[in-house]
Amino acid sequence: MRGEKNLQDITTAHPDGIGGSPLRPDGTLKVRGEFAYSSDLWHEDMLWGMALRSPHAHARILSIDTTEALTQPGVYAVMTHEDIPGSKYYGLEIQDQPALAFGKVRYHGEAVAIVAADHPETARRALAKIKVEYEVLPPITTEEHCQNPETYGYVHEPHEYKGHASGNVVHSQKVVSGLGVNDDVRAMADVVVVGEYEVGMQDQAFLGPESGLAVPAEDGGIDLYIATQWLHVDRQQVAPVLGLPENKVRLTLAGVGGAFGGREDLSMQIHACLLAQRTGKPVKIVYSREESFFGHVHRHPAKMRYEHGATRDGKLVYMEARIVLDGGAYASASPAVVGNASSLSVGPYEVPNVNVLAIAYYSNNPSCGAMRGFGAVQACFGYETQLDRLAAELGMDPVELRQLNAVSQGSHLPTGQVIDAPAPVAELLQKVKDLPLPPPLDTEHHLDIRELPGALSNTSHGEGIVRGVGYAVGLKNVGFSEGFDDYSTARVRLEVIGGEPVAMVHTAMAEVGQGGVTVHGQIARTELGVERVTIHPANTEVGSAGSTSASRQTYMTGGAVKLAAEAVRNELFNLGRSRYGWTYNDLSLVGGKVVSASAGVLIPIVDLLGDQAIDLTREHHHRPTVPFDKETGQGFGHVQYTFCAHRAVVDVDVELGLVKVVELAAAQDVGKALNPLSVIGQIQGGSTQGLGLAVMEEIITKDGKVRNPSFTDYLIPTILDTPPQPVEIMELADPNAPYGLRGVGEAPTLSSTPAIVSAIRAATGLALNRVPVRPEHITGT
């Protein structure tokens, strides 16, 4: 039959729909240098904004004198907290952070005053003329300090603590399951390992500096063009400080040069808007790299104590953990990070008896908040190191021990939540284990020093180099948890342009590089059977898309685009039904046509639609979660779980303490790879940030002062530090998720760090309980 063949031809999935790897819609602009990042914005008459920052970690502000700065030619405004028209505080979860410091400064680099001037250098010189008198106070920086406010003082005065915070504690969460951990439970274990672990403070180090342009509008409002992770939550925090209703503050996403959690909090948003409001002129702020280190929150450094008990044959009996996170001066996302660290502290293992406490303190160290992996990274270094030690203690293969205890679908986590989707942890470990190993280092016949630890520094020609292999696997949640209704909105419009059906997708999703815009196009093509899709600039004219974090955007905003596209499709079918009296219930849209499975092609979309447009908006809510019980941590707290396993191969120069990661293999279950090319890119990028934490990245503080705020002193992996990264993908559908997909971005950042450190231990025999591992930890010098 003629129609049949036709039908089959056109019902083949669209190659640029989901499951394909079409090219990024922003790719061409990006390679031409024409993509407008937030730091590239320019406006007629624009001024440059800049902030004066505290040189102290903790000090009382006695006075601020701006008179001299104001008289500088080219200076248009100098502002302090006294000039703020609205609320003086903002914050992501707890509004405890002053837009400009007053009373006290609580961390090194806190903004005290801002200026607007006609040239960045004029602004810089004006800042130097602002006189701030400080009374320096002893900084509260250690766990001991934080725990004893009566002796060492409060970071915020007791009456100032907001939310559930109190007495230097931002938030704490317990998780108790089974019998908990007591002497009787301990007695059931044949083998016990106890370890204390530390994770240093990591920086997101996105390459595009914090920046944006605030333009005063005629209606007295502000238009802000900004690089962020969540437009609507920015607006929620900015508007009250400006003393404006939210609808007078309109945000449009400018090009974002990476984020990784570091743009979840505000940086220069309020400052640029305040200066634009004050001067009536557009104001641009671009942080320098040094300022960027002060201008955003970091990954919480952690001190952890883990205790695991197991039977002689390797079954885990109990786990006790205490995870202490340094939250720094302001709350940021600390409460949610604590929620993750506690509820995910056990890792992807079945442990019948658990007792966990996670706690975040306020201190006068830099504020910490969201970074890729969000509380789960620190815990993973703890439990995976423990599993290695337990394997050694039991004389078992570390992968087999993990597989023996691995969760699978149906397992109970210590929060009482049952994993109700595939959880192929044992299989993922097997996949990385079965990959062929890289060839051994051949120093005799083929020596290329670029492959050795130390590389071009020419530190070794093969002497003293030992190879090691290590494994790790992690447990991460996807989406916002603990009862938060983390919805996303999408608008889809279908119309005929130039004789072709064109879909337009409009969301407020922050494209930060992850490729969400590519996926939105794929979803629209798949659901609407059209070729051409345009992506509307992301702004606050449409409802919130939630944050580009927690590996949630493809799930949440992708899900919203799917819903909106389905609604448009139904509307189109209804149009056909009412116009042509169709009674088919087997309709679909393929190749630009309305098709009935039984009757074949009915009509091209173009003819059905004519000059009408269908324009519909839908919200996507994930299934509800609940807060964890404060005392027991019980509750259906997470939307979805995700798993990634790594195998790391390293060469260590044991004499100099230098490490070369030779290969970093990953296996991850992604449910459904909507765009395989992007999925692999996310896994490799996430793994590399884990590599950085393993062997090089740490913000060093002394008495609360940051010692290395530059790319000269804070090192991130270069292409020479980063090895080949084979990736194995599994696609076991999650029945609760759109298309069965699983959030991808964060899981690889968890297990890469412990896998690499495990490999270094295998090479050196050292304990290595702290990351990043430094040369002196290896050489003992």
Partner 1 sequence: MRVTFNANGRPVEADDVWEGESLLFMLRERLGLPGSKNACEQGECGSCTVYLDGAPVCSCLVAAGQVQDREVRTVEGLADDENGLDPVQQAFIDAGAVQCGFCTPGLLVQTHDLLEREPQPSDNDIREALSGNLCRCTGYEKIMDAVRLASARKCSGNSSEVSR
Give residues in contact with ligand FES (CB under 6 A).
207, 258, 513
Interaction partner, residue 718 (partner 1, ligand FES, none; CB < 5-8 Å by kind) = partner 1
Nearer to partner 1, 59 or 272 (CB): 272
CB–CB of 728/666 below 8 Å?
A: yes
Helix (H, G, I), strand (E, B) or coil at 55: coil
State yes or no: residue 689 binds partner 1 (CB under 8 A).
Answer: yes
Q: How far is the CB of 289 from ligand FES (least distance, A)?
A: 8
Q: In this chain, which of 386, 557, 640, 684 binds partner 1, going by CB under 8 A?
A: 684
Instruction: Provide the terminal-to-terminal Cα distance of the chain, rounded to the nearest Å.
Output: 81
Alpha-carbon distance values, 162 to 96, 168, 591, 628, 668 (Å): 7, 11, 56, 20, 40
x/- map, 719-738, partner 1, by CB under 8 A: xx-x-xx-------------
Alpha-carbon distance values, 177 to 184, 364, 417, 662 (Å): 15, 34, 11, 40
Choose one: 29-37, 137-145, 304-312, 357-365; the region binding partner 1 (CB under 8 A).
29-37
If we measure between CA atoms, which residue out of 149, 144, 141 comes closest to residue 167? 149
Residue 198 is given by DSSP the state E
Q: How far is the CB of 486 from ligand FES (least distance, A)?
A: 25
Q: How far is the CB of 117 from partner 1 (least distance, A)?
A: 13
State yes or no: residue 166 binds partner 1 (CB under 8 A).
Answer: no
CB atoms within 10 A of CB 290: 14
State yes or no: residue 688 binds partner 1 (CB under 8 A).
Answer: yes
What are the backbone dihedrals phi and psi of residue 272, each rounded to the nearest 5 degrees, phi first? -65, -40
If we measure between CA atoms, which residue out of 455, 382, 466 comes closest to residue 768? 382
Q: In this chain, which of 685, 704, 738, 754 binds partner 1, going by CB under 8 A?
A: 685
CB–CB of 402/386 below 8 Å?
A: no
State yes or no: residue 711 binds partner 1 (CB under 8 A).
Answer: yes
Q: How far is the CB of 661 from partner 1 (least distance, A)?
A: 11
x/- map, 477-516, partner 1, by CB under 8 A: -----------------------------------xxxx-
Q: In this chain, which of 1, 2, 12, 33 binds partner 1, going by CB under 8 A?
A: 33
Residue bearing tokens 């002062």: 705
CB–CB of 716/696 below 8 Å?
A: yes
CB atoms within 10 A of CB 137: 16
Interaction partner, residue 236 (ligand FES, partner 1, none; CB < 5-8 Å by kind) = none
Q: How far is the CB of 98 from partner 1 (least distance, A)?
A: 28
Helical ranges in 581-667 per DSSP H: 605-609
Q: How far is the CB of 664 from partner 1 (least distance, A)?
A: 9
Q: Is 246 exposed, middle or buried (0-12, 13-18, 19+ CB in 10 A)?
A: middle
Q: In this chain, which of 450, 458, 586, 780 binds partner 1, going by CB under 8 A?
A: 450
Interaction partner, residue 709 (partner 1, ligand FES, none; CB < 5-8 Å by kind) = none
Site for partner 1 in 169-208 (CB under 8 A): 204-208
Nearer to partner 1, 25 or 416 (CB): 25
Interaction partner, residue 685 (ligand FES, partner 1, none; CB < 5-8 Å by kind) = partner 1
Q: How far is the CB of 152 from ligand FES (least distance, A)?
A: 40
How many angstroms separate the CA atoms of 667 and 433, rounded?
10
Adjacent-strand bridge partners of 473: 645
State yes or no: residue 23 binds partner 1 (CB under 8 A).
Answer: yes
Size of the site for partner 1 (CB under 8 A): 63
Nearer to ligand FES, 288 or 443 (CB): 288
Nearer to partner 1, 49 or 686 (CB): 686
How many angstroms separate the CA atoms of 636 and 481, rounded?
9
Residue 720 is given by DSSP the state T
Token pair belonging to 625: 């979660």
How many angstroms separate the CA atoms of 16 and 405, rounded?
40
Q: Is 444 exposed, middle or buried (0-12, 13-18, 19+ CB in 10 A)?
A: exposed
Amino acid identity, residue 86? G
Interface residues toward partner 1, by CB under 8 A: 21, 23-24, 26-28, 30-37, 39-40, 42, 119, 121, 204-209, 255-260, 286, 288-289, 448, 450-451, 456, 512-515, 677-678, 680-681, 684-689, 710-712, 716-720, 722, 724-725
